[in-house]
Structure 1
Amino acid sequence: MDDEEERSFRAFVAARSPALMRSATLLTGGDTHAAEDLLQTALAKTAGRWKRLESPEAYVRQVLYRQQVSLWRLLRSHRETTVADVAELPDTPAREDGTGAAELRILVRRALARLTIRQRAMLVLRYFEDCPEREVAELLGCSVGTVRSTTHRALARLRTLVPELDPAAACGLGVGNSSVEVRQ
């Protein structure tokens, strides 16, 4: 990499790192250290191909997702540990001082951390990155039907963990088909 390419790469990293770090943090379930490692790996791979890339951000994001999927596949043989009782999440009533929204974001982040890596990756790609199902399937190496079913189960699990996300549950109607917007 010559001096001009290095300056260009450094400018890209300085400009896009915060947004890329948010995506990496969501993919790792809120684990900042794992997110930093994931982003560092993606940027290192990007640096090696910098002069050949037409869309560097798209390449970095693809590396982020694929690295996380590789980790998921590596850990796939290790199943979740089941426990007798699931810890109850505290209620977050709407407050006049505006802290209800902050508490809801904290609850959503904690709930995302309790999802499987695959479910979390699907939700991040579909709702945070706003990728179509076909693109998610290509990135994660699965079928569109798998994306749909995994996303459906992940949303249902989020609604169970954070009932405030489901307006139908608040009305006593059970789990509805409302969309969830996952933002940091």
Structure 2
Amino acid sequence: MTEAAVGSDAGQRQDASAAAPPDDSLPRRGRWAGYGICVWSSLYVVPHVYWAAGGTIGMPGVFKEQGGWIIANVGASVVLCIAAVLGLALVQPWGRRLPRRLVLAVAAVGYVVPGLHVIYGYATKPFALAGRYELDLSPWARVDERKLILTDLLIFEPWFLVEAIMFIVASLYFARSTRTASAAVRD
């Protein structure tokens, strides 16, 4: 092999490593979203634990069957804790040791489900408030329908919207940063 060929090969390897920055030099713009998911989800666990324990503050009424309400809030608390950890996995170095496609697939659930919740909520609740759409209130023993709708529109749907946006941003950050890292490994 000639000296020019060896020098050329070394230059290509040097160029490839220069093209893939080390983890520390990756843009941090998307990282805030992963931490935001962790904080946002953790904060939302608090009212669910309170409601699962029988608390009634913030409730627009009383359910006929409290057992289902307790199970729903315990389940929501578990899902929110998983979301908090997933938010960190999207931006922490330990998250890069997990299977990339699995992390991205679970993160997609993290933005699709809240996104669909927002679409459904904003598509139906204003019509219900205007009397043009009838909500299924059968689980409630008594309920203030207006308070139920306004709480959903002004508190819950914005929460889901912010969660979905943060999952999209953190997922894009993770996809970009792991793609760069995997390209550097292949070269």
TM-score, normalising length: structure 1: 0.26
Higher relative contact order (CA 8 A, sep 6+): 2
- For the pair shown, which has the larger CA radius of gyration, 1 or 2? 2
